[in-house]
Amino acid sequence: MRGYKRILPVLIIVFIGLQFIPSVRNQSGQMAINDISRIYNVPKNIHAVLVKSCYDCHSNNTNYPWYANVQPFRYWLDHHVEEGKKELNFNDYGTYSKRRQSNKLRAIGSSITDDTMPLSSYLLLHREAKLSEEEKSQILKWVEDTRGSLLGSR
Ligand code: HEC
């Protein structure tokens, strides 16, 4: 008990100190002229699912949840956004080469089939982002159709 009393103030000070970690804001505020929906035919319902479940980490506009105001959660989210955007940015899709576009589409398909996306840690706090079986099959079908038309146009 005594040890606990000694450590608590230290933890509180560390927690307060953490709040001063600088954070970036991933909100470009610009029209996403290279968004995937501008270069492919992305039906409204598919786009809505992608925005809801993927855009927080895979676009230039994160919709910051309440916990983003609290460190170390913000740090953790910023890290995911940075890594996620590096791999795949739906807002920049139009700037990718045809080959990269096709590879990324395939990767999107695998991430859905293998259930690796959205990240499970993110789903803990974002239940609304979890894909239903129906949404999964809609996205998979769309990925397949879109890849097919890309390959056909070469
Ligand atoms: C909480 C943030 C987060 C969300 C939400 C999220 N991702 Fe990711 N995604 C990442 C991170 C971080 C990586 C890179 C590290 C890794 O692969 O685990 C990644 C990697 C990927 C990759 C791998 C790219 C490649 O070329 O191998 C694909 C594809 C992907 N995500 C698709 C999706 C899709 C589709 C959704 C929505 C259904 C989604 N992600 C939602 C964070 C996220």
Distances (CA, A) of 143 to 18, 57, 105, 126: 41, 19, 6, 24
Whether 151 has a pLDDT exceeding 90, the answer reads no
* pLDDT number for residue 153: 59
Half-sphere exposure (Cβ direction) of 91: Cα atoms closer than 13 Å: 20
The residue type at 149: S
Report the pLDDT averaged over residues 126-137: 97
Across the chain, mean pLDDT equals: 93
Structural domain that includes position 67: 2-152
For ligand 1, is residue 55 a contact (CB within 6 Å)?
Answer: no
What pTM value is reported for the model? Answer: 0.91
Report the pLDDT averaged over residues 102-114: 97
Neighbours of 23 (CB within 10 A): 13
Tens digits of residue pLDDT in 52-97:
999 999 999 999 999 999 999 999 999 999 999 999 999 999 999 9
For ligand 1, is residue 107 a contact (CB within 6 Å)?
Answer: yes
* pLDDT number for residue 101: 95
For ligand 1, is residue 118 a contact (CB within 6 Å)?
Answer: yes
For ligand 1, is residue 68 a contact (CB within 6 Å)?
Answer: no
* pLDDT number for residue 3: 78
Domains in the chain, number:
1
- Give, for ligand 1, the residue of 62, 111, 133 to mutate: max count of ligand atoms closer than 8 Å to Cβ: 111
